[in-house]
Amino acid sequence: MTSLRLVCAVILLGTLIGFPASGQTKTDKPPVRDTSRGDRMIAEYFRIETEKLASGCLADIHSVDDWKAHRDEYRAQLFEMLGLDPLPERTPLEPKVTGVVEHDHFRVEKVQFQSRPGLYVTGNLYVPKQVDKALPAILYVCGHGLVKKDGISFGNKAHYQHHGAWFARNGYVCLTIDTLQMGEIEGIHHGTYKYDMWWWNSRGYTSAGVEAWNCIRALDYLETRPEIVDATRIGVTGRSGGGAYSWWIAALDERIKVAVPVAGITDLRNHVIDGTVEGHCDCMFMVNTYRWDYAKVAALVAPRPLLISNTDKDGIFPLDGVVRVHDRVRKIYRLLGADKNLGLQITEGPHADTQELHIHAFRWFNRFLKNDTSQIETAAVKFFQPEQLRVFSDLPADQINTKIQETFVPTAKPPEVPTSAEAWSTQRDGWLKSLREKAFRGWPDDSDLDARSLDITKEFDVEREGIRFAAYNFISQPGIRLRLYVAHRAGLTRDKLELIVLNALDEEGWTKWLTSMQVGFAEQLKDETLPAPDAKAFDETRKMFQSFAWGMAYIAPRGIGPTAWDQSPKKQTQHRRRFLLLGQTLDGMRVWDVRRAAQTLRAADKGGFHKTPLWLQGEHSMAVVSLYASLFEPNIARLDLWHLPQSHQSGPDLLNVMRYLDLPQTLAMAAERSSIRLYQKIASGWEFPQAVAAKLGWNAKQIQVRTLPSTKVE
């Protein structure tokens, strides 16, 4: 194909699929459409995926030997999913007591330490007045209890002070620590929940990991106080968010001998199907790389004493899910002969810190840490004003709490250009393995999805206005049925096609495509909500097909176009968070959809397109989706990528991807397999793939970056 034809092709392709050529303007916003079809589809998908993970949770554990064989692996996976693999360096805590508050029966030391340099943890250490020997200790981790006056945060430790006071009045040392959010230094828990920081997923970061690490270092701090703390008798408890952090530290660190997580766990069925995820912030969830249900977290406490505590009317930790978690964990305790160490406490009430919850927790700790089964005679009450418990008079200038999400999980360092083909092969294969196991583990198993599983049905096949236009329905995976559209010149047999381009469409691309194609094929597209027609765009499409022996295919991945679900910002956010709970991301599953569309294209009409050179094309986020699809589908001849982001920090989120590589490295891998054309506003930023191509002697035109005209209207 001559360079002139290539230039013409670029302009026409851009016009056809919604990438505006010079002088074009964007179309109007698409009309409001009925999303009930997409809502039903995604609900069914979430049900199928959730039940698959639930049924597999601990299903392989049938004996003590099974558990012993898997326990350390599970714990290592949990460390990783919390962003703690490799485990951070245990740097000096630099602990300080900034003041002491006295009570008739105990004192409160106002403590601060650094779990990492600049990552400050503020807490109150409750110590009985009379300490003759080292005492059992409780790590109390706080839930979301904001205590703030005149713009000053006193930490949620002030809200939960009555717990520490009870323990100190009853012969315990209790360290109550603030959380990252709602602490004296106010960090962020709500990256995806509130702030659209979807790059947290790409970095493999969750605020739960910071809370888990701070708990680990809090135990380190307690061990520095042997004059008052018996380090062989440490328990943990907390409610709501603190309940979740109790699970993290008890599962990760066996220095915790007794645990009472209160209203801190339920199962995936509640979160994903019933929707309780919508009431929880990001600190409640690990990055679910290994696709766990939450009973596996709970099981890691076994055989140590564990009391699962909840109320019966808790709207965000529903009773049925709590009971299901307990039932699964009981299986492990029974295998280990530790039935007496597992308890389930359900009291009446809502999601609240009730006295009924206190009493059983206190008795559980007395029983297992003090061998004391006597009645509880004192209530947990508050004694102090929040100002009295404040640790910092002035916040430290070197604090990193407010931006810890930017560094807590390290990203991959930019790699050196490989010095040989062998070095490149090793690097490439390592990246591909990491992508498949860490970013795309939530994909179906390729071996289970042959062409028959696509279940391809032809919706229509018509000729009009000199264009042959067909549609094929296919199953991307159970619960997700999509439609692939194919067009080319009428009368052109499939064996005469020079190439076929699979266009991955985002919402804007889908709308622009409809404005064009409905001019000639409104009857075939009647099921869609059609925008205003664009006769000029359709005429350009028709001329393109007359001039070139090309086929064009179009796929709107899940959640776009025909399968779009509720478009409200809240529902969009919460559905994306549901994918994360399933060990996926929405964009990662859209990569799968494009792969399946390519497979459908090759299998349609008994393989009518399987010999035709296949190109992929996409813009913005769909450029990234198409790029990754090309790594896992064979024989992609060319990629045309418009406005490809230079980093996942600003681009689509794929689980954990930035821990291993970023988009320049992905582009280099794709360029080894496919010819690539980038259409960018700025040509720089792609030096790595270009250097790899030059070093390894690839075709000089394998990667071409074309700068878009400055007059281009976006």
Mean pLDDT of 484-511: 95
Q: Are 659 and 412 in contact (CB under 8 A)?
A: yes
Collect contacts of 446-455 with beta carbons under 8 A, ≥24 apart. 449/477, 449/596, 451/599, 451/603, 454/596, 454/599, 454/600, 454/603
Token pair in block for residue 389:
């418990």
Closest CA to 673 of 622, 701, 634: 634
Considering the entire predicted model, what is its pTM?
0.94
Residue 584 has pLDDT above 60, yes or no: yes
pLDDT score, position 391: 98
Give how far Cα 259 sits from Cα of 32, 141, 213, 376, 413, Å. Answer: 51, 12, 17, 18, 39
Q: Could you give the CA distance from residue 667 to residue 680 in angstroms, rounded to a whole number?
A: 14
Q: What is the pLDDT of residues 526-572, one digit of tens each?
A: 989 999 999 999 999 999 999 999 999 999 999 999 999 999 999 99
Q: What is the pLDDT of residues 33-68, one digit of tens each?
A: 789 999 999 999 999 999 999 999 999 999 999 999
Residue 6 has pLDDT above 50, yes or no: no
Q: What is the pLDDT of residues 105-140, one digit of tens each?
A: 999 999 999 999 999 999 999 999 999 999 999 999
Residue 679 backbone phi and psi in degrees, to 5: -120, 105
pLDDT score, position 608: 83
DSSP 270: I
Q: Are 6 and 528 in contact (CB under 8 A)?
A: no
pLDDT score, position 479: 97
Q: Could you give the CA distance from residue 248 to residue 233 in angstroms, rounded to a whole number?
A: 18
DSSP 480: E
Token pair in block for residue 393:
């008079």
Domains of the chain: 3-30+427-707 (3.40.50.1820), 80-406 (3.40.50.1820)
Which residue stretches of 19-122 are H helix? 36-56, 64-81
Q: Are 261 and 141 in contact (CB under 8 A)?
A: no
Helices 535-547, 3-17: axis angle to 10 degrees equals 150
- Note the Cα 654 to chain centre separation in Å: 8
Q: Could you give the CA distance from residue 546 to residue 189 in angstroms, rounded to a whole number?
A: 56
- CA 676-679-682 angle, to 5 degrees, is 120
pLDDT score, position 651: 87
Residue 517, helix vs strand vs coil? helix
Q: What is the pLDDT of residues 201-216, one digit of tens each?
A: 999 999 999 999 999 9
